[in-house]
Amino acid sequence: MSDTTTERARASAPTLHDVARAAGVSLATASRVLNGSTRKVAETYRERVEAAAAELGYTANLSAQATARGTSAIIALLVADIADPYFGQIAAGVARGADEAGLVVTIAITERDPEREARLVRALRGQRPRGLILAASRTTESSDPVVQAELDALASTGGRVVALGPGAGEVRSVIVDNASGARALGLELGARGYRDAIVLAAGEGVLTSDDRTSGFTEGFAAAGGSVSRVYRGGFTRESGSDLMTRAIADGVEPGTLVFAISDVVAIGAMSAVREAGRVVGSDIALCGFDDIPAGRDVTPGLTTVKVPLEDVGYLALRAAVDDEWDADAGPLPLEVVVRESTPLVPSA
C-alpha cells in the first residue's frame, strides 16, 4: 500500500471504497470480507482486504448494514444479573456461537423486572439486532402485554426472539427442565435417608424458582420425605445467607436437608450455617442447582443438579440465527451430582 493512499484515507474516515482500492480488489469483494457475507472469498483476497482495513483503521458502519439488511450484526442478550455465574456461563455459550457466526453480543440487565425488560427491548429495537435472547429467569408477569408487544415489534423488523423457557407468539424456546431436574434431586436425597427439608427459594411467580421448588418437593415426597418450610428471597448469595439465618433462628434440627434453588444461594447458605456455629453436611445438609464451578470448589463440595449452561447459551444463539429450528426438540439432559454436602444418613 502506498504512503499517498494511506495519508489520503487518514484525512477522513476511511470508507469501504478506500479499503478495496488499497487492497487491489473489487468493492464487492471487500464488502464480502468485511460485512459478514456468507459467500466465500479466496484466502489471498481476504488477507489483503483485512490487512488494508487494519492499516486504514476501517470499521464497518453497523447502522448502514442494518439499513441494508434489515438487521445488524448484533445479538442482544438479556440477563437478570451479570454477577451471577449462572448467566456468565450462558453468556459464554452465546459468545462462542456469535463468534462462529461473525456477530457481536450486546448484554443488558433486567433485574427480573418486567417493566425494565420492556424498556430494554424497546431500546434494543433501535439497534435492529439479528436476534434477542431472553436468558433472565422469567416471572408470571413476563407475559404482560407491554413486554409481549415490544417483543412482537422487534420480531416484525426481522429480529428473532429466543427465550430460555416457554415463550409466546413467534418466540423460539430453549428449554431447561428445571422441574424434572429438581424432582430427580429430591428422589436421590430422599433415597439417601433424608426426611425433613427446608427450601430457600426466590419470590413466588419467578418461574425458574417455582419449577425447582415444586419439582424438588414432589420428588422428595415420593422418596418418603417432606418439605416443612419454604423461605423466599432472591437468587443472590446474600439472599441465601439471609434466608438460612432466618431458618436457623426458627430452628433447624440436625439431619435437616436444605435445598437452595441455585448454587449461588446455597453457597450463601453455607456461610450462614458456619457463622451460626453449625456444620455443613453432617449437621445441616445442603444442596443447590446449576453446578457452577464455585460449587465444586467449596468445602464440603456442593450436591447439585448439573445444567450444561454453556450449551444452553450456544443453543440459544443458534436458535436466534438459524433458519431451520426443531421446535419439538426435547430439553437438554440434566444430571444429579452428589457431593460431600449431603452425606448418606447413617440409618439409610
Domain harbouring 245, CATH code: 3.40.50.2300
CB 223 within 8 Å of CB 183: no
* Secondary structure E strands in the chain: 74-79, 104-109, 131-134, 160-164, 172-174, 196-202, 226-233, 256-260, 284-287, 304-306, 335-337
Confidence at 10, pLDDT banded by 50, 70, 90:
very low
Cell reading at 39: 459467500
Which tops the pLDDT comparison, 312 or 38? Answer: 312
Show the domain range for 50.
Answer: 3-60
Cell reading at 60: 464497518
333 falls within a domain: no
109 falls within a domain: yes
In whole angstroms, how large is the CA radius of gyration of the chain? 25
Q: What domain count does the chain have?
A: 3
- Domain match, 16 and 124 both: no
Q: What is the mean pLDDT of the chain?
A: 88
- Cα 155 vs. chain centroid, distance in angstroms? 21
- Domain match, 166 and 182 both: no
Report pTM: 0.79
What is each CA distance from 49 to 23, 44, 59, 61, in whole angstroms? 5, 9, 12, 16
Q: Which contiguous run of DSSP H or E holds residue 143? A: none
The counts of H helices and E strands in the chain are 14, 11
What is each CA distance from 297 to 280, 291, 301, 303, 339, in whole angstroms? 14, 11, 6, 12, 11
- Domain match, 203 and 229 both: yes
- Domain match, 166 and 282 both: no
Question: What are the pLDDT digits (tens) for 306-343?
Answer: 999 999 999 999 999 998 888 777 788 899 999 999 99
- Domain match, 245 and 299 both: yes
pLDDT at 291: 97
Q: Once rounded to an integer, what is the mean pLDDT over residues 70-87?
A: 87
* Bond from prior residue into 129 cis (ω within 30 degrees of 0): no
223 falls within a domain: yes
Q: What is the spatial distance between Cα 13 and Cα 61, in angstroms, rounded to a whole number?
A: 11
pLDDT at 25: 85
- Domain match, 215 and 106 both: no
